[in-house]
Every structure is written in structure tokens, then in C-alpha cells.
Amino acid sequence: MTVHRWISAPLAAVASALLLVATGCETTWPVDSYEPAGAGLASKRTFAWTGGELGTVAAVDPTVAASTDLHIRDAVVAGLVHKGYTQVADAKAADMLVSYQVVGSRRVVTSERPRFNAPPPDDVLMQSNPQPPAASELPRERTVRDGTVVIFVDEPGTERLLWRGEITAETRPTSRENATHTAADMASAIVEKFPQRTTGP
């Protein structure tokens, strides 16, 4: 299996890299895709699934990992078949190798609350006037979880990257079952951006 190490930033430990449910009711994510010149994807015919990895420094429950791998695989394979490509079991006989990566990270966001109706500077300096709130008040902080799902398509033999699709979204932890389904939905949305096969059988 081809392992891509393009994400170099350290990742905070999270309970699972798959706790990926978009904030609120959002179900549509922007997809960032890349296809190098000369990839010729539309002329390819077959692909082989090579699995993936969970990019987290925390241990992932094997049951969660297996369930996620299954759901993502089913979503990606169905999407590529719909695009006109054929899945084969032998990676050596395939025109393309397909894999994925799921990454979870955590960051702290600081939001400063604006001070309304601030008094004029001259009034502040007068001792008889009440003093405004201390300027040293700490701003609000909140923890934000980001989830990234990436689909890679490589060339057999050379392992040259033929295509990459990625979704990164601000997320919030929820049940592992819902998270697994959401990761699969993200993978499905990515594959929708994959080029349609244009050649005959």
C-alpha cells in the first residue's frame, strides 16, 4: 500500500480520528482536488483498492478502524464504478491504485468580545467617573476539531500520484457510528470530483 506523508504538522491526540461530524447540519463540503499534467485519468479502465490509514497519535479501536475502512471503501468503489471504472482484485493488473487517509486534529480558537459604548479617553481619566472593565480581561477560548479525508490515486509500479481529492472541515465529536458514516460521506463527495471515464470498454 502506498503511504502518503504529505501532512507534516503534529496532530493532537484525539479519541478517534473518525469523530468527524460537520458542525450543525452541514452536509456539503468544498473539495480540493489535484491532477498533475499528463495523468490521463479518463483513459484509464481499472482500479484496485489498497486500503488506507488513520492519521492520529492516539490509539484507534480496531473495531472502529475496520468499520471505517469498510464504509470508506464501499463509498469510493461505488463512486468510481459510477464514473465508469472497473474494480479488480489484483493491484498489479490495475491501471490505478486507490487509497485514503483520515486525519483528526484539535486547535484552540480565541475570540475577543468587542467592548461597546466605550467612554471617551478624557472621561476615563477623571477619577470621579466609574472605570471601564479591565483591559486585561481574558478573551473566550474554545476547542475546535478539524477532520480531513483524503483520497489518493496512484500509478501502479511507479507509485506516481495521478490524482488527489481532499475535504477538510471543522467538526465536533459525536457517536462513533455517525462519525464513520460521515467520513464515508466525505469520501463519496470527494470521488464525485474524479474525472468521468470517456473511453469505450
Q: What is the pLDDT of residues 118-144, one digit of tens each?
A: 555 555 455 555 555 555 555 676 666
What domains are there in the chain, each with its CATH number? 21-112+140-191 (3.30.160.670)
Q: What is the pLDDT of residues 149-162, one digit of tens each?
A: 999 999 999 989 99
Mean pLDDT of the chain: 77
Contact 72, 100 (CB under 8 A): yes
Q: How far apart are CA 14 and CA 106, in angstroms?
A: 8
Strands 46-55 and 86-87, sheet pairing: parallel
More confident residue, 161 or 22: 161
Q: How far apart are CA 186 and CA 177, in angstroms?
A: 14
Q: Give the helix ranges, DSSP H, for 1-155.
A: 62-82, 121-125
- Reply yes or no on whether the pLDDT at 173 is more than 60: no
pLDDT of 27 reads: 59
Contact 163, 138 (CB under 8 A): no
More confident residue, 115 or 193: 193
Query: Helices (H) and strands (E) in the chain — how many of each?
Result: 3, 7
User: String of b and e for 151-168 (b: at least 16 CB within 10 Å)?
Assistant: bbbbbbeeeebbbbbbbb
Give the HSE-up count for residue 121: Cα atoms under 13 Å, Cβ half-sphere. 0
**Grid coordinates representing 70?**
469498510
- Reply yes or no on whether the pLDDT at 15 is more than 50: no
In this prediction, what percent of the chain has a pLDDT beyond 70? 61
- Reply yes or no on whether the pLDDT at 23 is more than 80: no
Query: Which candidate, 162, 52, 146, places its Cα nearest to that of 99?
Result: 52
More confident residue, 12 or 153: 153
